[in-house]
Amino acid sequence: MDTSFIEGLNWPAILVAALAYFMLGALWYSKLLFANHWIASSGIDMNKPGARKGVGGIMAFTFLLELVVCIGLGILVYRLMLSGFLSGIKLGVFTGVCFAAIGITISYLYQSKPQILTLIDSGYHITGNILAAVILCSWH
């Protein structure tokens, strides 16, 4: 497998895209947007002792996973020679819907999760993919 393309990736853009994706999560799951619906539909009792235990580690791991997503998006941007805002939107919608949202939906179907939880979590990853892809396609 030829890995020479790794040198051609825009690493600063990938890092900024991952940070933007992660920061979107802070807004998405805040009381300003979907926190109350997410908490109610996820079944997590925030008043239970220990409910917030390990949150720092979970958030750090989340950032690393979103960095991996952004590396993948960066590879697609590089290999497909995409550029521009509209290309970013198209790539983000494609990857967000076809990979992230479909994967979440399949898992949640088998776990009998509420549809609102599926919509909130899928919407976050579709929006995160769009945001990251726009950054990657627009940064030259």
Q: Report mean pLDDT in 10-residue bins for the chain, 140 residues.
A: 87 98 98 96 84 88 98 97 98 98 98 98 98 96
Closest C-alpha to 124, from 17, 42, 27, 28: 28
Task: Tell me how far CA of residue 137 lies from CA of 47, 76, 93, 117, in angstroms.
Answer: 42, 10, 13, 30
**What does the block give as tokens for 62?**
């989340």
Domain boundaries, the chain: 9-43+55-138
SS3 content of the chain, % helix, strand, coil (to 5): 75, 0, 25
Question: What digits encode the pLDDT tens for the residues 44-54?
Answer: 887 887 777 88
pLDDT of residue 14: 98
